[in-house]
Amino acid sequence: MKFFKILTFVLCIVFFSCKKNTLVEVVDVPSVPIEAVEVEGGSSKVSEVKANEGSFKMIGLAYEYKDLEPYFDAATTEIHYSRHHLGYVNNLNKLIIDKKYEVMSLSDIFRNLNASDTDIRNNAGGYYNHNFFWENISPKGGAEPEGDIMGAIIRDFGSFDAFRSQFVTISAQYFGSGWSWLISDKTGKLRIITTPNNDNPLMRTLNINGIPLLNLDLWEHAYYLKFQNKRREYANTFFSIINWKNVSKKYDEIPNKIEIKVIDSAVSLGSDSLVKPKKEVITVKKPEITPKKVEVKTEEKPKPEDKKEVPEKKYPGKEEESEFE
C-alpha cells in the first residue's frame, strides 16, 4: 500500500512537471502583431528600363504598364517589356560586338543575316518585333481604322470584321511561339502571315518581301498570366487597343506599289534605335483613280431622274479591282 502511495506521488509530480513545461512553452511564444507587408512588384517605371551599353537602346513606351488595363494586365506588360524585351536588346548588343553587324541598321542586319546566325537572328528579331508591337497598341486604341488602310482592308479581306476574324483565327491556331502579322506584300496587297520564333517579314531568309503594318506577339509570355491557354481571347482583346492611327500612318508611308525594292521605311523605331539608318528610294507606282465621265447636256436642265452622280467611292471594292490593275 505504501508502495502505491509513493508511485501515485511520483506520477503526480511528473504530470504537473510536464504540464508546467507545456504551459511555459505556450506562454513563451511571443505574440507578434501582423503588419502589412508591401510586396515589391510593378515597381519599375517604363522610363527606368535601360539597355546596357551598346548599339541599340530601349526606345520606351508611350504609356505606363497599367495603362493597358483592363485589356492587357500591368504585371504581364511590365515583365514583357522590362525583362523579355530588355533581354533581347542586351543580348543583341553583346552578340554583335566586333562583328560586321555592329555598325549596321536593323534593316541591314535582317538583309544580311545568314540562316546560321541563329542567336543574332533571334535577338535582333525579338528586339525589332517588340518595338513594333508596343508602338502599335495604345490605351486609346481600338475601334476600326480610317483612311486608306481601311479601304485596303475592305479591298483585300471583304470587310473589317472579316479581316479581324481571320487575324484572330490565324493567331489562335498558330502552333508554338511566333508572331502574326498584317503586311503589305510586293504587289501592294494586304496579307496576314505568321513567322516562327522571332522571325519577321524583313528577314531576307524568309523570302516574304512584305512591309509589316501590324503584329501580335504569340509567345506565351505575352498573355499566359492573364489569358492562360485562351490565345483566341488574347487575340480578340488585342483589337481593343490597336493603335490604328499609327498603323494607318505606316500604310500611308508605303502607298500601293508594283515593286518593293527597299523596306527601310518600315523600320521606324525612332532615331535612338538605329545605327546609321540607311535611307533609300522606294520605287512607287500608285494606281490612279480616274472618275467616270458623265455627259450633261447644256441646252436644258436634266430631269431629276436623268441626273447621274459622279461616283465618290474612294477605295475600290473587289468588284472594281480590275480598274486598278
Residues that bind Fe ion (CB under 5 A): 84, 217, 219, 222
Count of all residues that appear for the chain in the document:
325
Closest C-alpha to 105, from 270, 218, 226: 270
Distance, C-alpha 98 to centroid of its chain: 31
Give the CA distances from residue 84 to residues 107, 109, 131, 138, in Å, rounded to whole numbers and listed in that order: 21, 21, 12, 20
Give least dist CB 88 to Fe ion, A. 8
Give least dist CB 68 to Fe ion, A. 14
Between 91 and 184, CB nearer to Fe ion: 91
Between 45 and 83, CB nearer to Fe ion: 83
Give least dist CB 313 to Fe ion, A. 40
Distance, C-alpha 293 to centroid of its chain: 46
Give least dist CB 214 to Fe ion, A. 15
Which alpha helices (H) appear in the chain, and where do they start and end?
Answer: 2-28, 74-79, 86-95, 106-112, 118-135, 148-157, 160-173, 224-227, 231-238, 244-253
Between 76 and 138, CB nearer to Fe ion: 76
Between 222 and 269, CB nearer to Fe ion: 222
> Exposed, middle or buried: residue 168 (CB in 10 Å: 0-12, 13-18, 19+)?
buried
CA–CA gap between residue 215 and residue 222 (Å, rounded): 13
Between 71 and 219, CB nearer to Fe ion: 219
Give least dist CB 36 to Fe ion, A. 34
CA–CA gap between residue 100 and residue 117 (Å, rounded): 12
Side-chain-side CA neighbours of residue 264 (13 Å): 14
Give least dist CB 270 to Fe ion, A. 19
CA geometry: angle 193, 242, 165, nearest 5 deg: 50
Give least dist CB 285 to Fe ion, A. 36
Closest C-alpha to 202, from 152, 271, 274: 274
What cell does 43 get?
515597381
Q: Residue with the closest Cβ to Fe ion?
A: 217
Between 124 and 152, CB nearer to Fe ion: 124
Between 108 and 217, CB nearer to Fe ion: 217
Give least dist CB 71 to Fe ion, A. 16
Quick one: CA dihedral 99, 100, 101, 102, positive or negative?
Answer: positive
Q: What is the DSSP letter of 158?
A: S
Between 190 and 222, CB nearer to Fe ion: 222
